[in-house]
Structure 1
Amino acid sequence: MLRRIYASPEQLTAWLGPGRPAPADAERLLVRASEDIDSALLTAIYAVDDDGDPLDPHIAQALADATCAQVEWQLATGDDGTGAGGVWDSVSIGPVSLSGRASRTTGASGVELAPRADRALRRAGLEPGRIHAW
């Protein structure tokens, strides 16, 4: 099975912004984030070349942006790309302390996408089941 990686460590560094280099394990994180994007788009339709890469540069950029946004979100939430990390809430008022896993939503594919990743895909018209006109 061919593993498609939609963004490079250099693209991730640019996405994260000045003073925030890509982490040492950027390749691994990008592979896992690309898998998340693939899973979210299982029924999306868009033109590809013989290698399965998108022909439309706007689609390719949206996939790269979504992948970088997914990694950024995983880093911010403490997830290492395995899905084992998560968003935890914690509330303390005086001697009372409450904590637990915050609820997280998943798309129809069961993949937890970063909000910015979801928006990048939707802006490009890459929604599951939608036919992309080219």
Structure 2
Amino acid sequence: MLVYATDGDLSAWMDFPAPEGAASLLRHASARVANACRCDIYDTQPNGRPVDDDLDDALRDATCAQAEQWILLKVDPAAGAGGFDVQVTSSSIDGSSLSTTAATVDAARAEALDGLCELSVSILRAAGLASSLVRSS
């Protein structure tokens, strides 16, 4: 399986060190990027990477953008929704109530498990890739 970015690429993208487990995130993100580009036609090197440096850079950057989103949202794509911590969204007692934004965060995390983030799609499309990717937004 092609992995389009390294821990070093991810660190440079985020401007801070890649976290532990970054290799797994990059493998999963690369698989999503490859899936989005599966119908695109371009020349490749023997290792499967694009001959065109701009396309190779786009694949790397889209992979890093996806991994960054998972890191910031604390999503483990290998664990899926089962990896999410249970969060209390509201509580009430004796006429008092407290609500949190946990439901909004949970929705964003669940969405991050499905497909590519908007930035990754934008990067790929700007490079002429992800031509067959269908998004409903």
* Structure 2: gaps (5+ residues): none
Deviations along 1:98-118, one digit per CA (max 9) or x if unpaired, are 764527669xxx952112111
Partner of 1:65: 61
Residue aligned with 2:31, SS: helix
The number of residue pairs the alignment matches comes to 122
* Structure 1: gaps (5+ residues): none
> Percent identity, aligned pairs only?
34
Letter aligned with residue 9 of structure 1: D
Q: Write out aligned runs for 1:1-134 (5 A).
A: 3-17=1-15, 20-82=16-78, 83-84=80-81, 90=89, 95=97, 97=99, 100=103, 101-102=106-107, 111-129=114-132
Contact in 2 for aligned 1:45/1:129 (Cα 8 Å): no
TM-score where L is the length of structure 1: 0.75
Output the aligned Cα RMSD.
Answer: 2.9
Contact in 1 for aligned 2:90/2:97 (Cα 8 Å): no
More helix by share: 2
Letter aligned with residue 80 of structure 1: D
Contact in 2 for aligned 1:65/1:120 (Cα 8 Å): yes
CA distance in 1, matches of 2:9, 2:123: 15
Letter aligned with residue 127 of structure 1: A
TM-score where L is the length of structure 2: 0.73
Deviations along 1:40-86, one digit per CA (max 9) or x if unpaired, are 22212222122211000000000000000000001111211224257
Letter aligned with residue 119 of structure 2: R
